[in-house]
Structure 1
């Protein structure tokens, strides 16, 4: 199964994705890590662009092909990236599950953005202004529509978020596949 996370920076995506990967024994692929390592290579003449996502799709595909569950962790703000993640799963005939992580408490979301420390050497974290500009600019954050499971991390612990996702995944596994 491919579990596709998305959401604005500071919502709890990576923290939740990592905890879920540990719980499920899944492979965690974080686009921020891939992108920053591409930058750190010194080979770029311009911004990373889609390279980080393209590499991540390939790594996900390789892991899915050998039977690993994969958790894809990225802002995933555009329909084109969401379509590409889905395509990886569909091409391999594996189910996928999309999760949009939100933090409905704006004060809590802002606190998270302004106080977090990066764990990726050299990665510049976006400011609160960057995050809100991205959210309200339709060119940089497409509406997910009715597709994803919405996980609101505002008033629950990481453990509660993981338990909520595991419960939802258990329900999905009992139903006929519909993510194709």
Structure 2
């Protein structure tokens, strides 16, 4: 199975992805550390490092799927082409794909989480709250995407354990 996370920076995607991975014994491939490594290698930040990171994540996820194991992809996946990338990969490997869209319905809580996180991903810069707010304009609705792809939306105002339990039940169901 391929599980693709989706959501704005700071909503709790990584915490949920890591907990699901631990609970179900699934590998987690996260785009942000990949992009950080690309930047550490000296690739100019003006280059499309985000796209490169998604392509590397796809290659890694594909390698995991080839071993017969499931994988979780931890990425923003804000636009339809990014989400379709995972649908196509699952189809190529003939595995189920599940999307877990993560949101935080309280903007003040979301902002506090974003501004307090420390991920040690230099030279990748943490997005500012202003940048996250601007990215809402770029977020593409799920309308028009494949109707047979299952998706769960989780609001992380609830305790992490409740969110993870709901996600695990969704994945297993």
Q: Fold conserved (TM > 0.5)?
A: yes
Q: Distance in 2 between matches of 1:113 and 1:76?
A: 17
Number of residues of Structure 1 aligned to a counterpart in Structure 2 = 167
What TM-score results when the alignment is normalised by the length of structure 2?
0.91
Residue of structure 2 aligned with 1:163, choices 162, 165, 169: 165
Q: Distance in 1 between matches of 2:89 and 2:5?
A: 14
Pair 44,122 (structure 1): closer, same or farther in 2 beyond 3 Å? closer
Pair 45,118 (structure 1): closer, same or farther in 2 beyond 3 Å? closer
How far does residue 123 in structure 1 lie from its aligned partner after superposition? 2.4
Aligned partner of 1:115 in structure 2 is: 116
Aligned partner of 2:156 in structure 1 is: 153
SS in 2 for 1:72: strand
Aligned partner of 1:26 in structure 2 is: 26
Aligned partner of 1:7 in structure 2 is: 7
Residue of structure 2 aligned with 1:141, choices 134, 139, 142: 139
Q: Distance in 2 between matches of 1:170 and 1:3?
A: 11
Aligned partner of 2:68 in structure 1 is: 67
Write out the 4+ residue segments of structure 1 that deviate beyond 6 Å after TM superposition.
none
What TM-score results when the alignment is normalised by the length of structure 1?
0.87
Q: Which runs of 5+ in 1 are unaligned?
A: 172-180
How far does residue 45 in structure 1 lie from its aligned partner after superposition? 7.2
1:65-144 alignment to 2 at 5 Å?
65-135=66-136, 137=137, 140-144=138-142
**What's the RMSD between the two structures over aligned residues?**
1.5
Contact 2:39 / 2:45 at 8 angstroms: preserved in 1? no
How far does residue 49 in structure 1 lie from its aligned partner after superposition? 4.1
How far does residue 89 in structure 1 lie from its aligned partner after superposition? 0.4
